[in-house]
Amino acid sequence: MAHLFFSIVVVSLNPGEKLVPTLKSVLDQDYGNFEIIIKDGGSTDGSVEKLEELPADSRIRFFREPDKGIYDGMNQALAHARGRFLLFLNCGDRLYSRSVLSETAEFIEKTEKESLCRTRPYIFYGDQYNELQDCPVHSAPRMNDFACYRNVPCHQVCFYDAGLFAERGYDTDFRVRADYEHFLYCIYDRKAEAVYMPVTVAFYEGGGFSETRENRKRSALEHRVITRFYQGFWKRSFYSFLMLATLAPLRTKIAESPSLSKGYNAVKSAVYRRKKG
């Protein structure tokens, strides 16, 4: 295709039965202007062989190369991506509906048409459905400083202008929060505009690499380092105090509770809808 619109990047290493459903959710889209980059780190569990279950499709491009972790694998995949916008899906995640890519392409094209003179790159982001908690999770309607400190959208719902990875990819010194760091790099260094779109992009599997007890501790440490670098000591300290004052640790426990998360996210969604209005 002359102008490839989307590159969907899937990084895998021994994902078991999870790889094929992720790919099928992309191949089943009612919009066809995309490629799938599968970057495998050397799986030995038979998952790669299961790709034979899929129909032959020239839009699937498979590469196998050892890597030093998920973010290193994503960086390797970037070297092969040709689309204007990039979406990163983990094995086990799936696009929410058959119309995700068509709705996103329509939204992007409308936004670009209304902003013909702009030169800043975009990040378009939507909502997710958390399968572990069995409820929708709505992203913040605006990415201001506090939203960037508190919680940026997960990479499974973000469509990045490919140019935002031209100068550098993910910083692999951050083992858990390299995607968060890169999001803030895009906002603060590259002056990207993050635009919310009313599209539920992906089923997010949850319970993965970043959510183990050990990695949660490292995640908190990396968050402090990243926010202090991009937002400065005093702004980061103020937002940290604000989170404590508004009972953020308690709200996090409620949001992660199987019995309470649906109600919590329903309230949060109502607040976000009012802000959008």
pLDDT at 215: 82
Q: Is the pLDDT of residue 269 over 70?
A: no
* Mean of pLDDT values over 120-127: 96
Point out which residues pair with 10 in neighbouring strands. Answer: 38, 89
Q: What is the mean pLDDT of the chain?
A: 89
Tokens representing residue 129 in the block: 């459905």
Q: Mean pLDDT lowest for which of 121-135, 215-229, 242-256? A: 242-256
| CA–CA gap between residue 176 and residue 222 (Å, rounded) | 8
CA 114 to chain centre: 25
What is the rounded CA–CA span in Å between residue 260 and residue 122?
Answer: 34
Write down the pLDDT at residue 275: 56
> How confident is the model at residue 249, as a pLDDT?
55
Rounded Cα distance, 242 and 166, in Å: 35
pLDDT at residue 246 in the model: 76
- Which residues, 6+ apart, have CB-to-CB distance to 233 below 8 Å? none
> 160 and 186 in contact (C-beta within 8 Å)?
yes
Q: Which whole number is the average pLDDT over 15-22?
A: 95
pLDDT at 260 over 70: no
pLDDT score recorded for residue 3 = 87
Amino acid letter, 160: Y
Q: Is the pLDDT of residue 276 over 70?
A: no
**Residue 206 pLDDT > 60, yes or no?**
yes
- With CA atoms as reference, report the closest residue to 151 among 188, 180, 125: 180
**pLDDT band of 179, cuts 50, 70, 90:** very high
Is residue 258 very low, low, confident or very high in pLDDT (cuts 50, 70, 90)? low
Is 251's pLDDT higher than 90?
A: no
Q: What is the dihedral of CA 172, 175, 180, 181, to 10 degrees?
A: -40
How far apart (Å, rounded) are the C-alpha atoms in residues 125 and 123?
6
Helices (H), 54-168: 70-78, 100-114, 145-150
pTM equals 0.88
Q: What's the pLDDT score for residue 1?
A: 42
The pLDDT of 137-147, averaged and rounded, is: 93
> Tokens at residue 127, please?
């909502």
Residue 123: C-alpha distances to residues 162, 168, 249 (Å)? 10, 16, 28
pLDDT band at residue 115 using 50, 70 and 90 as cut-offs: confident
User: Would you call 88 exposed, middle or buried from its count of C-beta atoms within 10 A (0-12, 13-18, 19+)?
Assistant: buried
Mean pLDDT over 111-139 rounds to 89
Alpha carbons 70 and 12: distance in angstroms, whole number: 8
DSSP secondary structure code for residue 187 in this structure: I
For the chain, the 3-state helix, strand and coil shares in percent, each to the nearest 5, are 45, 20, 35
Q: Which of 215, 16, 253, 267 is nearest to 133 (CA)?
A: 253
- Domain extents in the chain: 6-276
Residue recorded with tokens 């021994």: 14
| pLDDT confidence of residue 135 | 86
Q: Taking 70 as the threshold, does the pLDDT of residue 247 lie above it?
A: no
User: Tell me, what's the pLDDT at 67?
Assistant: 96
d(CA 13, CA 5): 27
What CATH code is assigned to 6-276? 3.90.550.10
User: What is the rounded distance in angstroms from the CA atom of residue 268 to the CA atom of residue 277?
Assistant: 14
Cβ neighbours for 222, distance < 8 A, ≥ 6 positions apart: 174, 175, 176, 177, 180, 181
